[in-house]
Chains A and B, each alone.
Chain A
Amino acid sequence: MRIGLFVPCYIDAFHPEVGVATLELLERFGLDVAYPRDQTCCGQPMTNTGCHAESAATEELFVRNFTGYDYIVAPSGSCVHHVRCDMDAVEQTDDVRQVRARTYELVEFLHDILKVDAFPWAEFPHRVSLHNNCNALRGLNHASMSELREPAFSKPADLLSKVRGLEFVHISRPDECCGFGGTFSVFEKGVSEKMGYDKVRDHSSAGAEYVVSADSSCMMHQQGCAQRLEMPLKFIHIAQILNGARA
């Protein structure tokens, strides 16, 4: 099984440790993982702003980089959601369709494809609050949604429950968006910040030491808000915990 590793731009530049954890974790399962060096981004920032024409060349590059792999795996629900559900600025050739269908977010890949039942190396003796990115939650079905009448489930919580010592805390508005929203965080900064403050206060009141998420973008926003409020809250990507990080 040949896996193409997609490391989104902000993880590459600001949270390289998340890329490293994802790579090492996949390698632990004996997978043949490659990182195509010419990768940049999936095109989401432009389409998110309505600029589909401006996104086409970036989407094309993405497909060029990842054609031929059995699976493309990325530690970001938001980017994977774009590739799978919204990448339509580029002409829909067979290659494009195939790359889109084969792109998985790390949690889904571990849960649905590899069906991992144990992470013997993982131990995280902390109280954690789980944050689901909205695209991962409502677009990729990472977990049941509080607005719908459906049986409760959560793929990330399922994986984390196999980690020794980890204890969940539950916030009062689990599905509430944290206010990142891509370009929204810039163009509507007042509301974005307020949503972020409310979110980190909710984590904090629930008694969380760590916020864990499958998306670095939301966490970067929340971390910025928590630091501004001088909260001792810590943030960690799910890939790091599953790969055995202790703190």
Chain B
Amino acid sequence: MSGAQGGDLNRNPPRPDRLDHAEGASVPLRSHVREAQPRGAVINGNHPIDQAEAAERFIAAPEHERMHDARLWDLRQKRDRQMHGIAEWEDLRRLASEIKEHALTHLDHYLEQFEANARANGIHVHWAQDADEHNAIILSLLRDHSVKRLIKSKSMLTEECGFRDFMAESGIEVVETDLGERIQQLDDEAPSHVVVPAVHKLRSDVAAVFARTLGTDPDDDDVHYLTEQQREKTRPLILDAQAGLTGANFVVAETGTFVVCTNEGNADLSANTPSLQIASIGIEKVIPRLEDLPVFVRLLSRSALGSPITQYTSHFRGPRRGGELHVVLVDNGRSERLGMEQFWTSLKCIRCGACMNTCPVFRRSGGLSYGATYAGPIGLIIDPTFNRHRYSSLPFSSTLNGSCTNVCPVRINIHEQIAGWRKVLAETHELPLMKKVMMREAGHLLSHPALYRAAIATADSALKHLPRFMVYNRLNTWGHGREVPAPPRQTFHEWYAKNRPTGQGEPT
């Protein structure tokens, strides 16, 4: 933080001499304090998730909160630098949005086109209505091939489907090939971010997890040591797995192919090591033509990590010689979402995570505080489509500041949809009674000038009712960590009556 930086577009910190690793921090973020890792939201049946409570526990772990905020803000800054390197950035975003909207409004057509072309390429195509069908289809494929161990690369869709737990219950071992996801798997924790799943962990947390699960030295938190140990322990499991599972970033209808973008090459590991390859793909991933793909490839990694492109952009168009390739196209609530007039454009999402990186609430709360598959701004608008009651408080975990909308490479009006969800939740009785009652009282007072003037007539009573009519409510949350403003001697209203006695004050 320095006052020397210019206020113009060159306000980013100077570029480091070395090349950034795509997923690495460009500033050293070493913590010297051992601090227990704060855990995510408390899940209590179908009760609404209390994100604010989990966020407070995250903030109460200052080493974690500081590192998390700095790390993600660093990604946001790297993203900004990439944006400034591309003159047609805003045109690209518009184009990407239009392509997605076109594809989504002709989804049936493009999916059928993909299916036909994929089959012609020798790919087996399956359709799954929901998570259960998805899991069942894959299980039967694995059983048919007597698979004991499945290696898989990161896929948010499989998180949606509770796939890892399902496989564990079915007696099939799953090994994650993405390092961050592997850390989360070993710690029995969900990913906290769509792109960097273990970003909420300090290296000391990772050392503790590896010590517990892989037998490493708990006091050695050197990243090279930890990575190498993990690699040594996991590689043998990968090499003799009998099946591999990936997700997909894009599905191309005209070619019947799909594309997976990673930085570790782990999707290729999952796809190319065993002879049975399966891809779980949400139906919204389809784009019409190969020609459309570069628009997204240029936007994806720049938005996500501030690197020009992912290290690997792998195209899959058919089974390996002697192998089998299966694609499972999954709906799981997507066609219902497509029918929601206010919210269907959330399906444009390419899961870049930029909205999380820029979100000031996410950075200070950690992704696990949302208690849902999707965290951060995009989570606030799609989680309620999975379970309106359980995720009814999430759309309130936002200041509606709009930064998410501005960074979104496919121009989803995220913050407007967050506000839209608040309205839907209020109308469908999903607001806590306290909020509802407060708002009813406020609405009554504010629409009756005489009552209102009486309510704020004295400094004391004004403090009770103002500002925003709930700040100084009986719970007195304002004064918890902030000083309250000094009570006024006179309101503007009174000043005006005294100083502009002839002021018209009435409209014509």
Q: Which residue of A lies closest to B471 (CB)?
A: A186
A238 to chain B, nearest CB (A): 16
Instruction: Say whether B443 contacts A46, CB under 8 Å.
Output: yes
Whether a CB of chain B sits under 8 angstroms from the CB of A244 is no
CB-defined contacts of B487 to chain A, threshold 8 Å: 14
CB-defined contacts of B59 to chain A, threshold 8 Å: 190-191, 194
**Complex Cα–Cα for A197 and B426 (A):** 31
**Contacts known (A16-B488, A224-B485); A188 close to B55, Cβ less than 8 A:** yes
**Contacts known (A9-B467, A51-B439, A186-B477); A179 close to B402, Cβ less than 8 A:** no
Q: Which residue of B lies closest to A146 (CB)?
A: B80
Instruction: Say whether B9 contacts A152, CB under 8 Å.
Output: yes
Most B-side CB within 10 Å, residue of A41, A48, A179 = A41
| CB 8 Å contact bits of B454-475 with A (1 = contact, 0 = none) | 0010000010001111110101
**Complex Cα–Cα for A35 and B504 (A):** 7
Whether a CB of chain A sits under 8 angstroms from the CB of B2 is yes
CB-defined contacts of B421 to chain A, threshold 8 Å: 50
Which B1-26 residues sit within 8 Å CB-CB of chain A?
1-3, 5-9, 11
Whether a CB of chain B sits under 8 angstroms from the CB of A103 is no
Whether a CB of chain B sits under 8 angstroms from the CB of A243 is no
Instruction: Say whether B422 contacts A34, CB under 8 Å.
Output: no
Whether a CB of chain B sits under 8 angstroms from the CB of A246 is no
Q: Which residue of B lies closest to A19 (CB)?
A: B492
Instruction: Say whether A2 contacts B508, CB under 8 Å.
Output: yes
CB-defined contacts of A192 to chain B, threshold 8 Å: 399
A54 to chain B, nearest CB (A): 4
**Complex Cα–Cα for A194 and B65 (A):** 10
CB-defined contacts of A195 to chain B, threshold 8 Å: 360-361, 364, 399
**Complex Cα–Cα for A43 and B494 (A):** 22
CB-defined contacts of B431 to chain A, threshold 8 Å: 49-51
Q: Which residue of A lies closest to B395 (CB)?
A: A50
Of the residues A137, A157, A185, contact of B471 by C-beta under 8 Å: A185
Instruction: Say whether B485 contacts A223, CB under 8 Å.
Output: yes
Q: Which residue of A lies closest to B508 (CB)?
A: A68
CB-defined contacts of A1 to chain B, threshold 8 Å: none
A-B contacts at CB below 8 angstroms, number:
296
Instruction: Say whether A35 contacts B496, CB under 8 Å.
Output: yes
Which B411-448 residues sit within 8 Å CB-CB of chain A?
419, 421-427, 431, 435-436, 439-440, 442-447
Whether a CB of chain A sits under 8 angstroms from the CB of B358 is yes
Instruction: Say whether A49 contacts B471, CB under 8 Å.
Output: no
A21 to chain B, nearest CB (A): 10
Instruction: Say whether B482 contacts A221, CB under 8 Å.
Output: yes
Of the residues A50, A56, A180, contact of B422 by C-beta under 8 Å: A50
CB-defined contacts of A176 to chain B, threshold 8 Å: 360, 403
Instruction: Say whether B468 contacts A19, CB under 8 Å.
Output: no
Whether a CB of chain B sits under 8 angstroms from the CB of A28 is no
**Contacts known (A14-B485, A35-B496, A45-B439); A147 close to B468, Cβ less than 8 A:** no
Instruction: Say whether B403 contacts A191, CB under 8 Å.
Output: no
CB-defined contacts of A16 to chain B, threshold 8 Å: 488, 490-492, 494-495
List residues of chain A with CB under 8 Å of any chain B CB. 2, 4, 7, 9-16, 19-20, 23, 34-41, 43, 45-58, 60-61, 65-69, 86, 134-135, 137-139, 145-150, 152, 154, 157, 168-177, 179-198, 201-202, 205-207, 217, 220-221, 223-225, 227-228
- Supply 20 further A-B pairs (C-beta < 8 A) apart from A35-B500, A172-B1, A189-B478: A9-B469, A10-B466, A36-B505, A36-B506, A41-B446, A46-B446, A52-B427, A53-B426, A54-B439, A54-B442, A138-B405, A139-B402, A149-B84, A170-B3, A182-B399, A190-B56, A191-B365, A191-B397, A195-B360, A228-B482
List residues of chain B with CB under 8 Å of any chain A CB. 1-3, 5-9, 11, 51-52, 55-56, 59, 65, 69, 73, 80, 83-84, 86-87, 89-90, 358, 360-361, 364-365, 395-403, 405-407, 419, 421-427, 431, 435-436, 439-440, 442-447, 449, 452, 456, 462, 466-471, 473, 475, 477-478, 480-485, 487-488, 490-497, 499-500, 503-508
The 6 A-B residue pairs with the shortest CB-CB distance, nearest first, are: A181-B399, A224-B482, A50-B422, A10-B467, A57-B447, A147-B406
Q: List 8 A-B contacts (CB under 8 A).
A: A49-B396, A147-B403, A149-B90, A182-B468, A217-B467, A220-B467, A227-B482, A228-B481
